[in-house]
Amino acid sequence: SASFNWEDPLAASELYTEEELAIQDTARQYCQERLLPRVLDGYRNEQYDRKIIKEMGELGLLGASIEGYGCAGASTVASGLIAKEVERVDSGYRSGMSVQSSLIMTGIYEFGTQEQKDRFLPELANGNLVGCFGLTEPNHGSDPGSIETIAKEHPTKKGQYLLSGAKTWITNSPISDVMLVWAKLESTGKIRGFLVERSKCPPGTLETPAIKNKNGLRASITGMIQMDDCPVAAENMFPDVEGLRGPFTCLNSARLGIAFGAMGALEDSLSRARTYALDRKQFKGNPLAKYQLIQKKLADAATDAAYGTLAATQVARLKDSNKLTPEMISMVKRQNCDRALTNVRALQEIFGGNAASDEYHIGRHVSNLFVVQTYEGQSDIHALILGRAITGVQAFC
């Protein structure tokens, strides 16, 4: 007969295929054995080890739902479960992976020429190359339609563009070999995607300084992309896609990964809070877990983690059966990030003063989840996307 499993209360695992469960197991083993032991050091010292991308590539975790090019060709659910396992350790590690898998690899796979796919995808899949995605600018975050980075045709060299402008808050940029930069074509004013290769940029045309002293996502590396007449061959431009459909298609994939990932961070926090509440005794030798107010925090977190996982799984299945709409992704990205952040903040209280020590890990999840709720469309922006779909009236401006 069935028994209640607090770690999977609504039996989400029943919805996964054997292959998906095997991929989740591989990811969990790697994350717990190889990433968890590094995370405190990485977070304390703001150090991201580039080897992590290579290790993930060797295990087939990068671009896992892409067919061919050395990728696993797994389901969207399997990709989501990978994100969940990585973020169970740290949102920053999931971030570095999301940018590689969902943002740049998906962009090339969906919109690249055959030559671009052949040249970049296998090397991004095995982690030999590190990539990033440059959309946000110092003056334009939630409103990427207003970006100012410009691509103009080279005045003398045919088949070459010169990119100028600045991108900021770009995950992986300081260590990237190839950057997917979104810029407006001077001649048309339309947004286009360019694959900027660091090795082909003459000195002084490209800088990618790191943004230091973050108070969240410290185990990932974040920086700027500063371009000053940076030459990019026309063969490195996506040939057809114009406007925001390009970057948003990549974001659809990454946002769904975040909806799974945030549930990993929440589940890890729940598990740690439960252990702490059973061990820690206050008032006549009772464990904290005996008190009703503590139990409510655990019940709330377990409920939201279970609901969020099921919802993300449903959206991923709809994606694989071509029944997805972007609003579905907005709904699960927003809800899962909001619920993860709210619950993790409540669970943090269970640790009392010890929550202030990073060795209990809970404070790290809280700080990370604030960023996760903000990037790839802050929660209120996703509320407006949903509001527009519900009413037919847009409220952005």
Is 327 catalytic? The answer is: no
Residue from 97, 305, 371, 385 in contact with ligand FAD (CB under 6 A):
371
CA 11/CA 267 separation, integer angstroms? 14
Residue from 40, 185, 211, 244 in contact with ligand TGC (CB under 6 A):
244
CA 284/CA 24 separation, integer angstroms? 42
- Closer residue to ligand TGC in complex, CB, 193/231: 193
- Closer residue to ligand FAD in complex, CB, 248/307: 248
CB of 383 to ligand TGC, least distance (A): 10
In degrees and rounded to multiples of 5, residue 395 shows phi and psi of: -120, 20
Q: Does 259 bind ligand FAD (CB under 6 A)?
A: no
CA 103/CA 117 separation, integer angstroms? 14
- Closer residue to ligand FAD in complex, CB, 314/379: 379
| Paired sense of beta strands 206-207 and 222-233, if any | antiparallel
CA 213/CA 87 separation, integer angstroms? 21
24-39 b/e (C-beta count within 10 Å ≥ 16 → b) = bebbbebbeeebbebb
Q: Does 209 bind ligand TGC (CB under 6 A)?
A: no
CA 43/CA 124 separation, integer angstroms? 25
CA 61/CA 222 separation, integer angstroms? 21
CA 379/CA 338 separation, integer angstroms? 7
- Expressed in angstroms, the distance from the first to the final Cα of the chain is 55
Segment contacting ligand FAD (CB under 6 A): 105-113, 270-278, 347-355, 375-383? 375-383
- Closer residue to ligand TGC in complex, CB, 48/133: 133
Q: Does 375 bind ligand FAD (CB under 6 A)?
A: yes
CB of 133 to ligand TGC, least distance (A): 6
Instruction: Provide the mask over 212-241, with x wherever binding to ligand FAD is found by CB under 6 A and - wherever it is not.
Output: -----x----x-------------------
Residue from 276, 362, 374, 385 in contact with ligand FAD (CB under 6 A):
374
Question: Chain centroid to CA 265: how far?
Answer: 13
Burial class of residue 385 (count of CB atoms within 10 Å of its CB; 0-12, 13-18, 19+): buried
Give the residue at shortest CB distance from ligand FAD. Answer: 141
Tell me the Ramachandran region of residue 213: left when phi exceeds 0, alpha when psi lies from -120 to 50, beta otherwise: left
SS3 225: strand
Instruction: Provide the mask over 120-149, with x wherever binding to ligand FAD is found by CB under 6 A and - wherever it is not.
Output: ------------xxxxx----xx-------
Amino acid identity of residue 11, one-letter, is A
- Closer residue to ligand TGC in complex, CB, 58/143: 143
Q: Does 136 bind ligand TGC (CB under 6 A)?
A: yes
Q: By CB under 6 A, name the binding residues for ligand FAD.
A: 99, 132-136, 141-142, 169-171, 217, 222, 371, 374-376, 378, 380-381, 384, 396
User: Which are the catalytic amino acids?
Assistant: 376
Q: By CB under 6 A, name the binding residues for ligand TGC.
A: 95, 98-99, 133, 135-136, 142-145, 171, 243-245, 248-249, 251-252, 254, 326, 375-377, 381, 385, 396
